[in-house]
Structure 1
């Protein structure tokens, strides 16, 4: 499988080894530990999303920014820097690339089968993992079969089997063990082996009950992360855990609330927890870029409320490291000092990714058959497109990669609803761009030439295994839906040049375009809603000239909107959009619907119809960043006065829009 990987020269290997410091020096804690002290290094991977190999199946080419096989080389190097080490994972393993889809949809999981991710993790010697929200995307039965192939335990303290929460969290009937206590031997500063009991507890975002309602409703329930932590950690201490490690598949947010999605900051505040491993947000902590200026968050030292914490990127991009200096206090160990680090697998040189570690050949060999089967799966043609599909301008203009999703959803639901009470209710369709650069990098765009469309192209258009939903709402609620979507744009001051257009804290998958209506977005207005769906400016009206069938929309008229289970269930916190509005739950995934639409049509025409645009602002310009391939499609964007504006950072290209 050598053609899969970019060759790494001896110079690269030496540079990578030197950068990692793996072959030449111990961590200071190991070097200076005394007889009553010991250094414990804990390594984290998180949000692997089946990216075991450095290969982008959507683009069908090697990619040096991803791959557990690369992170595995860091693991070996990091182990050599410490006298005592252990390896854990923080969830989101089973879904996220076509290999995951191939296993779930094509090959299947029989009892006794070994999932590719488990083949790799078992080879590397993981000692524990927790569940991420994407573990549930293919259903509980599939997840159970995959977890059965792990040679290490999975823990989760806030996932309850059944539908009833106990009055006391300790009485919950949990789906998995809430924690494990590992009895280990560690070498102290004198070289003598000493016993230690290490407790590991895990948590999943409670929002899985919204995001995967179809798979989970009636089967499981979730509890607040911090509530579960406060209940179970004292029991871990009672059972003799010397130190307690939290595997929190949950990001970092300092604004407290009930049932928080990103609760790791408050997990760190729970008495008895010594270190917090975070994830879910696909960011890096500690570091110079993310989580700056948050009270109680030290991005340099890597602490949350004074506790060591780490978030190791995503897709294997980083190894998260927490180093603990432990000291004997009688018969117990306690943490007396700690450091935190997120170590990358690549660096950027001249805006190009360059690997700083080679692949672990054991993993490459173990997954050769799965890799080849996935390639055959994703290269299978399903139809043709008469026009290119690209997402370089999906955040600034009506876009073909979003258009084809709406076309497929409308085609599907029109047939389903034709003999129902909604047959005469106008049908709209909402879709968002999934691959639009941002945190995922300058190569993270859809770019499919005219001609054959394969499964890999459909998966590239629609990354998630969502299922189709239909909601019934009013014209007024259509407007509020669009007001929420328009929160992705910064407020623009008329008459000023080159203002930043995109609010980078607003995820592109929440930028819904609604087809079937026409509208403009007035950027001089402030956003009505913030990125989390909170009402920010009640009197703001960014959505103007909202029309249906060529006339101003009737605020009381009923509409059916095609969307997905995430949005229809309340995902993204769009105003008034929740499960109570759902009129139809499809058994089919949005992705399968797109495939069936293409097969039915034979050849599709995904050209954008330009149903939305920015309201004019004379003598005003904005700038945004997109991928380098955008230059080939500028002429296609008819609704904008757009021009190149130089290079952006990290491989992005900058463009100017004259409003």
Structure 2
């Protein structure tokens, strides 16, 4: 194994600036330019979390978008390949679901024998060498996933997805895919001589797919802990002759202590002996990148290392290409790493006015590969299904009751009452839990729902509800309803009374876990500490952020039973909400939440999504807080009746800043 942790990686920029070289040499990465006769430069390139974004096109907004698209990432690949003597291309998962093209292919077009999915067509054009699975590969079911990956010209690996119960030894697990592949590649060394090297790739998926896609996987599959699987299979890769071992981890970076079946386990995975480099994903972040993981032991976000080993995470939707460059040296019969750099190279930048500027054009071959499906998707998403009497937008979804969430709750309540009317639960009061999916954050300053009054098309429904979740309902008590809301209130920082312009939003709390529960009214007291941490564990058991919680105009009875309609992710334990898990589920729908919203709009003809202000913040006189939203939010300030919000100038990265007066 290479002793990577003892190295002092150099930056590509410092190497280039220190080289007295010709302009021709400057086109090469320094490792290619300086490699000796017994050395070779190997460039590993990663895409991750593509989510079917082959085209630089936002189907939800129905317009081009220069921040996304594998067709753009493909263009920078050409330049990046040219900078290196030797290269390999991998995909790190979540390629199959995530935009309307994915839904069109799964729900409308289907996969007939001999068909090749457009995202796979694009990958085949680009010559990928290996791929692994992400959690969203399972959203449409196992059979569909296997049909799709069967069209690829490259292998898929996954070491912790099994066909049944786990064996006592991970190496005895019956796996759906090979746990790893070892690619024997002929590489050129510094003298131009060609010599073979064996590079091993091992893949991992978050174990939580068994919660998130229980409908598709229960009784058909099982998952093993990522680190446990790695410790079993990496030695076998060494025994098989792998010179270099690269982990393809569709799992993010988390500084928490190692725990069984950890979702974001890449830091601990990098610590497994024998792994030389690691590609990560799942979190939709960029690594290396300063500030994202400052202060986490074992993470160097500047050099791009996890546990001292080179690592990269390439953003999402094709926004970046992850790069790990290895300077290899032949040590007897084996290759070892003597130096490395890591980078995530973007496809766009923002100018001084914070506007997005594309750095590259489309790669024609990729566009051509998926053009027919792209045009069919456009027809699919433009189909009208009804009208809305008021605009639907999510610019203030994290700070006030919101029309885009309201219509989801209206549709869910309408649906579940029909489904339960002949069951033992027909007389229980129905509540609805829904969260804003497009609320800026890591998605950027344009990542908001914005549907004008008038016609609603399928693209608008997909914009309201991004994921193909299915409807589920749970039966819980009034006390559990309160704790559900206490968990959701983790969206907000602690704001002592009298604070001036304190940051309101907790950047580490995902917006899709900020559930609004309709059917009750309540206030959120920001002067109280949060009751639960992000794992649903009580950190301030005596705290009570949720105040004046009422049902039917009266204080909620902690013992009263309620039906809460939600989605399969939340009902199955997604987000780790206290006491919300599969044992509380009373109804599992055959329909997706999106389909329910479409049916509701069709049934109503014209919907009225006006927010009913069933929740608000408790007044804290003399206290103000700030938050960021999209610049277009300013035009809707006059719509807000339950809160006082004012323009507070510019935010970062193209966002606008607002002040909330408590």
- TM-score, normalization: structure 1? 0.96
2:163 counterpart of 1:165: no
Maintained 8 Å contact 1:648/1:654: yes
CA distance in 1, matches of 2:641, 2:519: 19
2:225 counterpart of 1:224: yes
Aligned equivalent of 2:8: none
CA distance in 2, matches of 1:240, 1:478: 55
CA distance in 1, matches of 2:81, 2:621: 60
CA distance in 1, matches of 2:510, 2:105: 28
SS of the residue corresponding to residue 183 of structure 2 reads strand
Unmatched 5+ stretches in structure 1: 1-20
CA distance in 1, matches of 2:61, 2:271: 42
Q: How far does residue 64 in structure 1 lie from its aligned partner after superposition?
A: 0.5
Pick one of 509, 521, 530 that aligns with 1:506: 509
After TM superposition, the structure 1 = structure 2 runs for residues 285-434 of structure 1, keeping only pairs within 5 Å, are: 285-349=287-351, 350-434=353-437
Unmatched 5+ stretches in structure 2: 1-22
Q: How far does residue 288 in structure 1 lie from its aligned partner after superposition?
A: 1.8
Q: How far does residue 496 in structure 1 lie from its aligned partner after superposition?
A: 2.0
SS of the residue corresponding to residue 542 of structure 2 reads coil
Maintained 8 Å contact 1:30/1:83: yes
Maintained 8 Å contact 1:23/1:80: no
Q: What does the per-residue CA deviation read over 1:533-553, in whole Å, with 9 as the maximum and x for residues that have no partner?
A: 222211100000000000000
CA distance in 1, matches of 2:329, 2:558: 67
Q: What does the per-residue CA deviation read over 1:626-653, in whole Å, with 9 as the maximum and x for residues that have no partner?
A: 0111111111111011110101111111
Q: How far does residue 367 in structure 1 lie from its aligned partner after superposition?
A: 1.7
SS of the residue corresponding to residue 202 of structure 2 reads strand
Aligned equivalent of 1:186: 187
Aligned equivalent of 2:470: 467
Maintained 8 Å contact 2:92/2:250: yes
CA distance in 1, matches of 2:208, 2:231: 19
CA distance in 2, matches of 1:166, 1:642: 57
CA distance in 2, matches of 1:24, 1:300: 23
CA distance in 1, matches of 2:70, 2:217: 29
SS of the residue corresponding to residue 367 of structure 1 reads helix
- Out of 534-543 and 480-489, give the one that drifted further: 534-543
SS of the residue corresponding to residue 30 of structure 1 reads helix
Maintained 8 Å contact 1:39/1:323: yes
Pick one of 513, 527, 533 that aligns with 2:536: 533
Aligned equivalent of 1:17: none
Maintained 8 Å contact 1:22/1:78: no
After TM superposition, the structure 1 = structure 2 runs for residues 582-621 of structure 1, keeping only pairs within 5 Å, are: 582-621=585-624
Aligned equivalent of 1:63: 65
After TM superposition, the structure 1 = structure 2 runs for residues 111-126 of structure 1, keeping only pairs within 5 Å, are: 111-126=113-128
CA distance in 2, matches of 1:430, 1:360: 42
CA distance in 2, matches of 1:575, 1:637: 32
CA distance in 2, matches of 1:180, 1:37: 24
CA distance in 2, matches of 1:121, 1:635: 47
CA distance in 1, matches of 2:369, 2:182: 30
CA distance in 2, matches of 1:476, 1:414: 22
- Out of 259-268 and 356-365, give the one that drifted further: 356-365
Pick one of 415, 440, 443 that aligns with 2:443: 440
Aligned equivalent of 2:196: 195
Pick one of 262, 265, 282 that aligns with 1:263: 265
CA distance in 1, matches of 2:636, 2:615: 18
CA distance in 2, matches of 1:195, 1:471: 57
2:625 counterpart of 1:622: yes
CA distance in 1, matches of 2:24, 2:244: 26
CA distance in 2, matches of 1:118, 1:428: 41
2:647 counterpart of 1:636: no
Query: Structure 1 residues 157 and 438, CA, compared in 2 at 3 Å: closer, same or farther?
Result: same
Maintained 8 Å contact 2:383/2:458: yes
Maintained 8 Å contact 1:112/1:145: no
Query: Structure 1 residues 81 and 638, CA, compared in 2 at 3 Å: closer, same or farther?
Result: same
SS of the residue corresponding to residue 195 of structure 1 reads strand
2:511 counterpart of 1:488: no
Maintained 8 Å contact 1:161/1:174: yes
Aligned equivalent of 1:241: 242
CA distance in 2, matches of 1:104, 1:22: 47
CA distance in 2, matches of 1:591, 1:167: 41
Q: What does the per-residue CA deviation read over 1:167-215, in whole Å, with 9 as the maximum and x for residues that have no partner?
A: 1000000010000011110011111000111110000000000000000
Q: How far does residue 289 in structure 1 lie from its aligned partner after superposition?
A: 3.4
Q: What does the per-residue CA deviation read over 1:549-569, in whole Å, with 9 as the maximum and x for residues that have no partner?
A: 000000000000000000000
Aligned equivalent of 1:153: 155
Maintained 8 Å contact 1:23/1:77: no
Q: How far does residue 74 in structure 1 lie from its aligned partner after superposition?
A: 1.1
Maintained 8 Å contact 1:22/1:80: no
Q: How far does residue 532 in structure 1 lie from its aligned partner after superposition?
A: 2.8
CA distance in 1, matches of 2:502, 2:405: 26
Aligned equivalent of 1:515: 518
SS of the residue corresponding to residue 630 of structure 1 reads helix
SS of the residue corresponding to residue 262 of structure 2 reads coil
CA distance in 2, matches of 1:437, 1:356: 23
Q: What does the per-residue CA deviation read over 1:235-264, in whole Å, with 9 as the maximum and x for residues that have no partner?
A: 000011111010000000121211000011
Aligned equivalent of 2:215: 214
Maintained 8 Å contact 2:25/2:33: no
Aligned equivalent of 2:98: 96
Aligned equivalent of 2:553: 550
Q: How far does residue 23 in structure 1 lie from its aligned partner after superposition?
A: 9.4
SS of the residue corresponding to residue 471 of structure 1 reads strand
Query: Structure 1 residues 23 and 522, CA, compared in 2 at 3 Å: closer, same or farther?
Result: farther
Aligned residues: 638
Aligned equivalent of 2:130: 128
CA distance in 2, matches of 1:333, 1:257: 33
SS of the residue corresponding to residue 406 of structure 2 reads helix
2:81 counterpart of 1:79: yes
- TM-score, normalization: structure 2? 0.96
Aligned equivalent of 1:648: 651
Maintained 8 Å contact 1:488/1:531: no
Maintained 8 Å contact 1:204/1:225: yes
CA distance in 2, matches of 1:457, 1:534: 36
